[in-house]
Chains A and B, each alone.
Chain A
């Protein structure tokens, strides 16, 4: 029987399952890349495309909701619902919980159908028919039977296509299909299958590694492959070769890979231990290591959406850094893009507000979530674009030209266009580094997060290549808050309490008000320590959530603060995270609402453009 299941594993989407498990068994990027090269070499072509889509997070399928799946597994395994839920809480991953719970169910049925792999089509048809209940099941069964058999014995692409097809069918058909596969698939494949149907498929691998592997395998440059994989594409439509030629077929709508800046060590944090930043600061540069100020251009680091605006062959497109099309959400910007000269690509920041006033990121987000805004609402609240860079001019890729030259071309273009929604992001003057230190402290007043430093001679690279572009962010605002609730994390952190609700005192300092949800920014050792503490200091349990004795104090940092009716404290924080554990503080010494209000008021004063007559630097 074990041998049997091993063989069935080898038959089903072998290359992809192998890849998945090889990736799971290593922490080395080189080995991950090698595993992917092996995958691209061994997988059927269409599976390679699906694998690539899955690896880069393009998972179109979420067949069934979590509650329903838990119900089905309780039914199959004859376990009470609450026990399925407890198991889920312990494992922290639904797909894995399902596969673990199904182990005995699966083995029992593999024994029955051990020899059935070749006659699977009849076997599954009859088993499906026997479980089908409705009168209309004959038609259903026939259509499902073909899907079921292919899923259990065929490749990744077939399973994915089945899942997409089944998404539109009713619950009983989906259930039949899922239960059939639960019986047929062995452990590793069952886990992957569950990952697919829960839509939770993720691998601990960045797209960067996949791109490098593909680049080696196809013998094509990394930049070309990165570009070919940009934006939306449906794996069902492509072979690997066609996908890579997509660059030329759809090239007129595709953005260039974004060049990303690396964090610069701020002067204040040079003496702090680096591990609380997840090790990132270890590799950081300090300002004094950059050399002469005159080699660098400085501008504000705006807190909006990084975009590329493209007009080629009469077609405009707006892409976010997250590779999403924003044309529909921001029609006025799409209209602006139409006015660009042919063959133009601008890199810039989409900001909320009426130029030159910059609004909050939260306001910008209001534009994103809408599905069908009314005509009046489509352009509210107002937005505009600060252009950073020019990547393509007259249809020529000019990314290799120096930044100062591109900037000069950009300013001329913006000037010629003279459009109220498009402005060049102002450069920050100042001859000495010390001037910049000073200006950086004013960032919040300009509604910026800090300063960007770009080497004047730099080309526009792709990805996060270190050395030429640095982001020099403002130190976060801070509050000392008390740990109030905790719940377990997911994945690597499952079964460890890593998600915390933090609270500060109210004005009277009598009651604790939750103010932020933070994921632990602590070191692994601290996480384990806090986890053990939580387990020993729980006062109440609500499902996965523990209420703990209000005792531990953490310094939380955040980049913005604003009023909110949705939060108990009346305040919402932007990007809150733990800066450090204040073992030296008692809960009674934590901050209160008065201090938070002060931060809020300071910020609002600063941000009111009327109070800031010198807001715009002259270009």
Chain B
């Protein structure tokens, strides 16, 4: 029997031949990272390799003194005869799919990805391979995203109507990725006040050249003095004292999960906008087709459903169990639906 180039071990996705791991959850010597979200980039490995855009974010999150080797997209690293390269995944700034090429097999580990070009993060590129490990956070056919321009317009319209009624708008968005994408989409619309944790991520990304605008902090907004405006904070901060002084204020979560009405309502917020940094159903299917892979491994999300569907479509598909969390990753406070132990 042919030995596979990658396998799932107790510490994570492993390439035994090269002695490296991709996004490992156990402590290892060499960790190759797809991106800097907390469920993929964990603390405590001896040596990290990641795309150069992650430099400041990783140092901020994992410590200034981590041993980090920076890689560029398309650059190839050879370790013990195995060739590794990083390719844009379109998920968040710095995100990559990792291609692993041996003598008989080529694997791609998708990490998290989205197929829509958000014109901020380098866009997803399909990479040819024989074995594809794909996320499937939104791997059900109900998940279809609208083009982001439409969602941005809907947010803008809603904000305008809030302001007309004397309310500010508070958007909940992950501080790494979603927040910057929204800032990029909405920055010309109105002043945006941001939560300090978002400001921190903005600085880390600007340090590697992302050119985000300098925005005021929500603590600088004066109730009853300043006019209603747009605020942005991570969902984990929803009980923050900082946010309580922002009223009167309409709140909305910006997340793919809000596509489903029950989820929107359960959050007890005023609105929800389905903008996601993960691929939707057609996005996943197109990405898989684009790789030309015969063997598909489905991780984090609707793995059993998605894998079964792929099998019926003629792929050689299996679900694998990892400890990645998908969209509940960086701030798993509002929607804990993607508990990977379920799927």
Query: Taking beta carbons and an 8 Å cutoff, which residues of A are in contact with B?
Result: 2, 24-27, 77, 79-80, 82-83, 86-87, 90-93, 96-97, 100-101, 103-104, 204, 490-496, 528, 531-532, 535-536, 538
Contact = CB atoms under 8 A, between A and B. Distances in A.
B212 interface: no
Contacts of B140: 83, 86-87, 90
A79 B262 contact: no
Given A86-B305, A535-B342, A491 B262 contact: yes
A495 B262 contact: yes
Given A101-B141, A104-B144, A494 B309 contact: no
**Most chain-B CB neighbours within 10 Å: which of A24, A204, A538?**
A24
Contacts of A2: 146-147, 150
Given A27-B268, A104-B282, A87 B141 contact: yes
Nearest to A537: B341
B242 interface: no
A494 B261 CA distance: 9
User: Which of A26, A27, A97, A535 has the most chain B CB within a 10 Å cutoff?
Assistant: A535
14 contacts: A2-B147, A24-B264, A25-B271, A87-B140, A87-B142, A90-B260, A90-B302, A93-B261, A100-B259, A101-B141, A101-B142, A491-B262, A494-B263, A495-B262
Nearest to B146: A2
A528 B337 CA distance: 10
Nearest to A28: B270
Contacts of A92: 262
Contacts of B187: none
A101 B140 CA distance: 9
Interface in B137-176: 140-144, 146-147, 150
A96 to B, nearest CB: 6
B280 to A, nearest CB: 10
Q: Is chain A's interface secondary structure helix, strand, loop, or mixed overall? A: helix
Contacts of A83: 140-141, 305, 308-309
B265 interface: yes
Given A2-B150, A535-B339, A535-B341, A494 B260 contact: yes
B145 to A, nearest CB: 10
Contacts of B260: 90-91, 96, 100, 494-495
Contacts of B143: 100
A531 B337 CA distance: 10
Contacts of B305: 83, 86
Contacts of A538: 342
B339 A536 contact: yes
B336 interface: yes
A86 B271 CA distance: 26
B262 A494 contact: yes
Nearest to A27: B268
Contacts of A492: 262, 265-266
Given A80-B312, A83-B305, A494-B262, A97 B142 contact: yes
A87 B144 CA distance: 13
Contacts of B342: 535-536, 538
A96 B261 contact: yes
A532 B279 CA distance: 25
A495 B337 contact: yes
Contact of A491 (B265, B337, B339): B265
Interface in B234-272: 259-266, 268, 270-271
Given A27-B268, A100-B260, A491-B262, 15 more contacts: A24-B261, A26-B270, A27-B270, A83-B140, A83-B305, A86-B302, A87-B140, A97-B142, A100-B143, A101-B141, A104-B282, A494-B260, A494-B263, A532-B339, A535-B341
Nearest to B143: A100
A472 to B, nearest CB: 32
A101 B142 CA distance: 5
A23 to B, nearest CB: 11
Contacts of A24: 261, 264-265
Contacts of B144: 100, 103-104
A79 B141 contact: yes
Contacts of B312: 80
A97 to B, nearest CB: 6
A493 B141 contact: no
B336 A532 contact: yes
Nearest to B158: A25
Nearest to B305: A86
Nearest to A92: B262
A87 B336 CA distance: 18
Nearest to A86: B305
Contacts of B147: 2
Q: Which 4 A-B pairs have the closest CB atoms?
A: A494-B262, A100-B142, A535-B342, A492-B265
Nearest to B149: A2
Interface centre among B144, B264, B266, B282 (most CB of A within 10 A): B266
Interface string B305-343: 100110010000000000000000000000011010110
B142 A91 contact: yes
Interface in B272-286: 282
A83 B305 CA distance: 7
Contact of B309 (A80, A91, A103): A80
Contacts of A25: 270-271
Contacts of B265: 24, 204, 491-492
Interface centre among B140, B302, B308 (most CB of A within 10 A): B140
B74 to A, nearest CB: 33
Contacts of B341: 535-536
A101 B282 CA distance: 12
A86 B259 CA distance: 16
A490 B263 CA distance: 11
Interface string B92-106: 000000000000000
B266 A77 contact: no
A531 B271 CA distance: 24
Contact of B336 (A491, A493, A528): A528
Contact of B266 (A87, A103, A493, A536): A493
Contact of A77 (B141, B264, B271, B337): B141
A200 to B, nearest CB: 12
A531 to B, nearest CB: 8
Contacts of A82: 308
A538 B308 CA distance: 20
A585 B308 CA distance: 40
B142 A93 contact: no
A532 B262 CA distance: 17
Nearest to A191: B261
Nearest to B267: A492
Contacts of B337: 495
Contacts of A493: 262, 266
A492 B268 CA distance: 9
Nearest to A88: B142
Contacts of A97: 142
A38 B140 CA distance: 37
Nearest to A78: B141
Interface string B15-37: 00000000000000000000000
A293 B295 CA distance: 79
A77 B141 CA distance: 9
Contacts of A104: 144, 282
A531 B263 CA distance: 14
A73 to B, nearest CB: 10
Interface string B222-239: 000000000000000000
A75 to B, nearest CB: 14
A133 to B, nearest CB: 27
A104 B142 CA distance: 10
A487 to B, nearest CB: 14
